[in-house]
Structure 1
């Protein structure tokens, strides 16, 4: 009766242990320490064995039992391993007389063991190890003791499997959390973990009054690496960069990869903001040596933006945003350099972000407009066409210069949508003018930016507008600048050729302001040359200007192209462009840009 109570007490304590978060080793230690209380033995040991016969956990009630457990593991022989393999209990009441374990037996006897009884730890058909009971004198176990021992072994197996499942679930949760907080490619902290570290840095800065700095590192021209060598080499470069930068991190600081080729250092507890200068120098040194990758050596540079929070200043996500802005300021200086946040430029960047947001809303809310500047026959001033010009009146800022609106549209990726809207709107307005004034068909000129022209599907979108608006292709002139040829001449040639197949005409706008203008006239299929107003402005005052305009006009005519003079503002300028042979002209001397309704009234 006393034996049964002790047994129940051991199992009860064992069950309570399993309800805690104790690790498996602690659970095993708890069990083996109690077993000698309920069985006639001098020591107990448990070995949990993996399917490959490698011990995972070893526990023992005392030092002697631990020595015997390790002896079986080191010799790969003994009743523990036999019971695990066979699933049957192994009884050795007199170890000195037993011959089944020629290596383990003599060594165990020499160490003071006289008898051993081993019970497999079973769970259904599976086995996870064995329970060894040791005695320091020979003698058999009673049947009741054997049953109790096997019960303990089986109960331990069931409980341990549950503990293993709990531990594996915890490990899996930890693994998934770690994956969610670290970049898969480089293993560095990601944006989410950086956010946590920034929050910690904020609390820490309040206590220590230390300065904090953020360095935003962006590789220069990384896209060229992917384009030239493929994304696999690009990924290899990112890993190599991450390793070099990680070697620069001070204890307690954080290096994160936040996206693409962007890395962020979070530096805490700076005694002075200038302490980060040392890190900047080391970053420069890290990129001084080319990166040896698979079959290729790549020299890379980086632009670094820096933002500080001094002692007592708030630490937040804004610090990363400021460092990001500073990085772009470094990019605009040519890259391969570093830049501390310039608040004036940051305000300009913030201003651009607001303009982008408002421009997007204006496009969605039909708040944009188009004005039309007449294009005239220079010799008599008769209107033969119009140039469509984007107009945007901001509700708070008032009229936004077209150049600024286009620049924001290009930077934000809105240019294709806005350019398509202008083309559609202009073609529809021209259709209304033609219906009202059938005897005054006008050519319609529409500006196309390099970003818009090179966008996939541009030719198809123009064809769709022509179809939807029933626009005569022969009356449409698309104006491009020399920038489209500088960016990618071969591709530009293909796109312009496809546009010509639609039946429309092409004009080279702002001619004379580029580097290779004359070669463009010869190579590309443009029909009209528009002389930039910077040349026209000096007509009548500077003889050299007259010479230049005359030379451009004569060359264009030799190549069978029409010439338009832009920016004609005085009668003297008008007389000059007529005298050198410019067929067409536009400018304030003839008419300022005007709304569609005003142009319709003028046609009367």
Structure 2
């Protein structure tokens, strides 16, 4: 009766572990201690097993028995292992005469043991280990004691499984929490964790009077590295950058990754703003050293913006935004440098942001317009095509020329949707004039931002198919400076466009001081001589010589030559004398709306 009561009390104690944080080891230790109060034995031990009888946990009521538990694993035999393997209890009332465990039994006797009784720990149709009960004199267990031993072994197994499930759940929760606060590529804190640390840093600064600062780091021309070496190399570079930045910072600083190639450093408890500048200089200097990526040396630079916490502007969003604004100014200055936010930069950034928002709305609401400047044949004066020129019909400022919004569009990436809109509108215009011009062609300007996008050729192909436009009737114009700054991506894009069948032209030729033989590198069809050279025709011998040389070489290469910016009769006569094929300029026609082109065609002999 007493035994049943003690067993019941022990089972209740085990039940309480369900509502506690008892570890697996804690449950085992509790079992080996309390089981001695229920079953008349002198010692107890327990082992949890894994695959191939690997011992994961062991516990015993004293150190000698703990050695005995481990001894069975060492020897590969013993009653505990046998109970685990067979799922049946194993009773050895006298180790001195036992012949089943010839290696184990003598060693156990040497340690002062005389009898051992092992019970499998069963749960969910399997076994997770076994419990051993020991006597220091030969003897047997009553059936009631053996039953109690098996009950305790099975109950302990159930609670251990519960503890394992709880531990696994907690580990999963910790892992999910960690992932929610860290960047998966670099393992750095992400924006969420950065916000939290900035908030705490600002709170501390109010008490300690230390100065928190935020450094916003953006890698210069990272996209070019990513595109030329591949995304895998790009990821390796980001990891290497993160490691180098981490080694550069002070122990208490926080380094976070907040975007593709954007990192933010929180410098806590600075003495003054000058320390933040010193840190930014250290960052730019370290990142300017080459990286070894996939056996190839890669050189990059970084632009760093600095924001110092100040009264009224201490929120994480404000500090990060200010540092981002300052970084953008550093990047505008050519990159590889740092800039500290000030009120002038804030005002300029706010103005730029308003301009970007207005331009985005303009694209979405259809405020873009096209005008067309005719392109004439020099030999016969007939219209051979038009150049499509985009304008922004601003609701307050009227019609804006490209120079007033295209630079912003290129900086923000809005040039991509604007460029696609222009190409679509050009294809529609071709339908309008295709029957009125023999072999018509419409020229569209293309920016470096568009050309360096890997999906640009496919986008052009899609538009042409959508409008059933002959590719040869579309001329894509690329400025000479874009070609000279090419890292290989522009040439690849031009080659893909050439395969589509569009006409390609170098615009503003001569402004980039391009070597004439450089033309052979690019799969172009036309050269458009810049107006700055055309302006001097007939009056400046050097300009005349340059235009003549460019024309002759282009013809030798099988290229068509277009003279831009013809504004006088003398210039028109001279472009004919040097052999230019096509011409455009205010002397012949200003850019016109579609209706104006209709009227011009109708007024010209042989046109319309």
- Same fold, TM-score > 0.5, yes or no: yes
- Show the counterpart of 1:457: 458
8 A contact 1:423–1:446 mirrored in 2: no
- Show the counterpart of 1:243: 243
- Show the counterpart of 1:147: 147
User: What is the distance in 2 between the residues matched to 1:285 and 1:168?
Assistant: 45
Q: How does 1:14-33 map onto structure 2 within 5 Å? A: 14-33=14-33
Cα root mean square deviation, aligned: 4.4
Q: Which of the residues 572, 575, 578 maps onto 2:573?
A: 578
8 A contact 1:188–1:255 mirrored in 2: yes
Identify which range, 124-133 or 74-83, moves more after superposition: 74-83
User: What is the distance in 1 between the residues matched to 2:150 and 2:551?
Assistant: 104
Identify which range, 283-292 or 13-22, moves more after superposition: 283-292
8 A contact 2:199–2:316 mirrored in 1: yes
Residue 512 (structure 2) pairs with residue 514 (structure 1): yes
Residues 1:93 and 1:461: Cα distance change in structure 2 (over 3 Å) = closer
- Show the counterpart of 1:369: 369
8 A contact 1:309–1:319 mirrored in 2: yes
Identify which range, 376-385 or 555-564, moves more after superposition: 376-385
Q: How does 1:491-570 map onto structure 2 within 5 Å? A: 491=492, 494=495, 508-516=506-514, 518-519=516-517, 530-535=528-533, 543-544=539-540, 547-549=542-544, 551-553=546-548, 556=551, 563-566=562-565, 568=567
User: What is the distance in 2 between the residues matched to 1:230 and 1:521?
Assistant: 28
Determine helix, strand or coil for the equivalent of 2:26: helix
Residue 449 (structure 2) pairs with residue 448 (structure 1): no
8 A contact 2:530–2:565 mirrored in 1: yes
Alpha-carbon displacement from aligned partner over 1:405-432 (angstroms, at most 9, x marks no partner) = 3334444444454334334435645765
User: What is the distance in 2 between the residues matched to 1:232 and 1:443?
Assistant: 45
CA deviation after TM superposition for structure 1 residue 441, in Å: 8.6
CA deviation after TM superposition for structure 1 residue 282, in Å: 5.1
- Show the counterpart of 2:606: none
- Show the counterpart of 2:64: 67
User: What is the distance in 1 between the residues matched to 2:154 and 2:491?
Assistant: 78
User: What is the distance in 1 between the residues matched to 2:231 and 2:519?
Assistant: 38
8 A contact 1:549–1:580 mirrored in 2: no
User: What is the distance in 1 between the residues matched to 2:496 and 2:6?
Assistant: 91
User: What is the distance in 1 between the residues matched to 2:47 and 2:434?
Assistant: 96
Determine helix, strand or coil for the equivalent of 1:40: coil
CA deviation after TM superposition for structure 1 residue 442, in Å: 11
CA deviation after TM superposition for structure 1 residue 306, in Å: 3.4
8 A contact 2:330–2:338 mirrored in 1: yes
CA deviation after TM superposition for structure 1 residue 392, in Å: 0.4
- Show the counterpart of 1:117: 117
8 A contact 2:378–2:583 mirrored in 1: yes
8 A contact 2:214–2:267 mirrored in 1: yes
Count of residues paired in the alignment: 584
Determine helix, strand or coil for the equivalent of 2:187: coil
Alpha-carbon displacement from aligned partner over 1:85-126 (angstroms, at most 9, x marks no partner) = 343334444556667667765665666555443322122652
Residues 1:86 and 1:231: Cα distance change in structure 2 (over 3 Å) = same
Alpha-carbon displacement from aligned partner over 1:436-491 (angstroms, at most 9, x marks no partner) = xx7x99976533214456731366357447746xx8967x7654432454335854
User: What is the distance in 2 between the residues matched to 1:286 and 1:587?
Assistant: 51
- Show the counterpart of 1:89: 89
8 A contact 1:213–1:306 mirrored in 2: no
Identify which range, 21-30 or 456-465, moves more after superposition: 456-465
Residues 1:349 and 1:70: Cα distance change in structure 2 (over 3 Å) = farther
TM-score, scaled to structure 2: 0.78
CA deviation after TM superposition for structure 1 residue 184, in Å: 3.8
Runs (5+) with no aligned partner, structure 2: 604-608
Residues 1:197 and 1:424: Cα distance change in structure 2 (over 3 Å) = same
CA deviation after TM superposition for structure 1 residue 531, in Å: 4.2
User: What is the distance in 2 between the residues matched to 1:142 and 1:507?
Assistant: 101
User: What is the distance in 2 between the residues matched to 1:107 and 1:428?
Assistant: 96
Residue 268 (structure 2) pairs with residue 273 (structure 1): no
Determine helix, strand or coil for the equivalent of 1:164: helix
Identify which range, 52-61 or 453-462, moves more after superposition: 453-462
Determine helix, strand or coil for the equivalent of 2:154: helix
